[in-house]
Structure formats: C-alpha cells, structure tokens
Chain A
Amino acid sequence: MSNAVIRIKFFASLREHVGQGEAETSDTDAKTVIEAWNKVTNNMAMPENTLMAVNMDYVEANHPIKAGDEVAFFPPVTGG
C-alpha cells in the first residue's frame, strides 16, 4: 500500500558513500530515523557528523517516523 511508504533521500558525499540517492522503506520496517538508515543501507555504519531530517526539518537519530514521511541523510552543510 502506497501510504505505508517512507521515502529516503541521501545527498552529496553521503549519497556517493551509500551508493544510492533515493530509497524506500515501510512503516512496519522502520519506526525511527536510525531504523530507516539501517534498513536501506543494510546496516552500514553511519558516518560521524551525519545530519538527519524528517519532512525537511532537522531531527535526531531516534526521531519517530510514520508512513508518508520523507527522511533525509546528508553530511555537514557547506553553502555560502
């Protein structure tokens, strides 16, 4: 069912590190941000300083997620 989907995005050096830009998991397989990471990366070690967002707001790794959420992982930002 499409409403059970959680969309995952990776950016910049982290996208290259994990070898994928986008992935999906489900609300039965992942209840928190870190569980989503473990699921879609096959338990890769998360690099230190990885930043996380749910629905485009910064969160911590133990933040709960639900169906329809967009979860993003990326390295420290370097704009400006």
Chain B
Amino acid sequence: MLIEIKDAPFEPYQRLLEYQAEAGFSGKYGATAVFVGSMREFNQGDDVSVMTLEHYPGMTEKYLQKISEEAADKWDILDSLIIHRVGEMLPNDPIVLVAVWSAHRAEAFDASRYLMEELKSRAPFWKKESLKDDVRWVEKNT
C-alpha cells in the first residue's frame, strides 16, 4: 500500500510497472485495475491553459492513507497504489493514478472505484484554472 504526492510531472504507466516489479505479490494477482485522471484543455465550456493543484500537506496524505486502509478492509485485495499531482500542470498531464491488485477482477474494479470516489470527496486538494483572461477556482467536483 503506497500513496505519493508529486510536485512535478510523473509517468503513471512507468511508475505502475516499477511498483509492481518491486511489490511482494508476484504470482498472486490475476487482476490489476488502473485509473489515470488527466488534465483536460477545457472545462465548463472554457479553454483551460494551466491548472494549479493545491493541497493540505499532512491531511492529504492522512486521508489517502485512510481510504487505502478502508479499501483493504472492505475488499480482498493484494495491494493498492495512489499517486496524485500538486502544483502547476498543463493539458494532458496526469493528475492521479489509482491502481489495485487482486486475485480476481471484481475486487480490483470495486476497490479502485471506491478509492477514486473517496479521494474526490474527502482528500483535500483544490484545483485552480487559468483561462484566457481569467483565473478561477473549481468550485465542486463533478
């Protein structure tokens, strides 16, 4: 179980393979569910050129750890990985990686969905968007 906050761009698929190679569940998993969230170049009908993600150092890590432990309690999974960007990012940049490994697919699907939904509603991150002539905070998650 690992959570990471990154203040610079990361390559989710490469990081996934590295983590999997070092993890202790080799030969035991039959399912890997992977979610990658990326920055769009549009939101609410406007072009977005830059997005800045703020977090609450300490509490953000605490809640990512908390939801990871909740998922491990609820489902029979082997491991989970959450990586989330902060700082300034550009369209196409990965924002978040969630991966879950389990013996069978149902647990990996369900636990990864849970991690993403709980992250979006409980982990203290905030997005600010730079538009052509304006800067605005994203007010709520869709």
User: Footprint of B on A, CB under 8 Å?
Assistant: 9, 11-13, 51, 53, 56-58, 72, 74-80
Tell me the complex Cα distance, A58–B121, Å.
12
Contacts of B125 in A (CB 8 A): 77-80
Tell me the bound Cα distance from A57 to B65 in angstroms.
13
Q: Are A77 and B122 in contact (CB under 8 A)?
A: yes
CB distance from B98 to the nearest CB of A (A): 9
- Given the complex of chains A and B, what is the CA–CA distance between A9 and B124 in angstroms? 13
In this assembly, does B23 line the interface, its C-beta being within 8 Å of a C-beta of chain A? no
Query: Nearest Cβ distance between residue A78 and chain B, in whole angstroms?
Result: 4
Q: Is the CB of B138 within 8 A of A78?
A: yes
| Least distance between A66 CB and chain B CB atoms (Å) | 18
**DSSP class of B's interface residues: helix, strand, loop or mixed?**
mixed
The answer on a CB contact under 8 Å between A77 and B126 is: yes
**Residues of A contacting B96 in the complex (Cβ-Cβ under 8 angstroms):** 79-80
Residues of B within 8 A of A57 (CB): 62
Closest B residue to A80 by CB, please name it.
B120
A34 to B99, CA, bound (A): 39
Assess the B53–A79 pair: CB atoms within 8 A: yes
Q: Give 25 CB contacts A-B under 8 Å.
A: A9-B56, A11-B124, A12-B54, A12-B128, A56-B59, A74-B56, A74-B124, A75-B126, A76-B140, A77-B122, A77-B123, A78-B125, A78-B126, A78-B137, A79-B84, A79-B119, A79-B124, A79-B125, A79-B126, A80-B84, A80-B95, A80-B119, A80-B120, A80-B123, A80-B141
A74 to B124, CA, bound (A): 8
Is B127 on the interface with A (CB-CB < 8 A)?
yes
